[in-house]
């Protein structure tokens, strides 16, 4: 019952007196723990560096060195002429003279007209077209109830329903 009596005596003392002696001991203990933790962390860093350096050295020893002598050299260059002589002697055709027809207009079949004042459409070669569309290189200029006016390479021609 000695320990019980001592603890009872400590409680009877003033609150500041009971903790005065214990405070010095508790202040030293955390400083000591921080010192141990810091030293352990520094030692761990050095050990990790040593282990990683050792592993890197072993990896270098296992990897075969590649020398320039073991690599194949560049392939010999082939000299290629950009234009063979046959193509150089060929004549380049000149564009057609002004007023001369280059190509005849395409042969188109007018299958029907869907006329409306707001959006007239036509069925040419079984394709629906409206004004401004291009079919077989010919541009649709105007659609009327009786026919379609087209333009091909600057020349106008018409397709009629009759």
Q: What is the radius of gyration, based on Cα positions, of the chain?
A: 50
Per-residue pLDDT tens for 140-153? 999 999 999 999 98
* Rounded Cα distance, 150 and 154, in Å: 10
Look at 161 and 42; give whichever has higher pLDDT.
42
* Rounded Cα distance, 102 and 147, in Å: 25
Averaged confidence pLDDT in the chain: 77
Alpha-carbon separation of residue 74 from 3, 68, 78, 118, 133 (angstroms)? 93, 12, 12, 70, 55
Per-residue pLDDT tens for 23-65? 555 556 778 888 898 999 999 999 999 998 988 888 777 766 6
């Amino acid at each position: 019952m000695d320990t019980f009596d001592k603890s009872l005596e400590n409680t009877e003392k003033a609150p500041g007196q009971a903790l005065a002696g214990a405070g010095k001991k508790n202040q030293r203990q955390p400083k000591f723990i921080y010192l141990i933790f810091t030293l352990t962390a520094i030692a761990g860093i050095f050990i990790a560096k040593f282990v990683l350096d050792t592993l890197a050295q072993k990896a270098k020893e296992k990897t075969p060195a590649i020398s320039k002598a073991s690599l194949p050299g560049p392939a010999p260059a082939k000299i290629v002429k950009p234009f063979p002589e046959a193509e150089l002697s060929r004549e380049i055709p000149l564009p057609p003279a002004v007023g001369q027809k280059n190509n005849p207009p395409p042969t188109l079949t007018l299958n029907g007209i869907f006329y409306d004042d707001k959006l007239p459409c036509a069925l040419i070669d079984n394709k629906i077209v409206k004004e401004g569309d291009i079919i077989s290189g010919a541009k649709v200029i105007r659609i009327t109830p009786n026919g379609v006016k087209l333009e091909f390479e600057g020349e106008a021609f018409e397709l009629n329903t009759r």
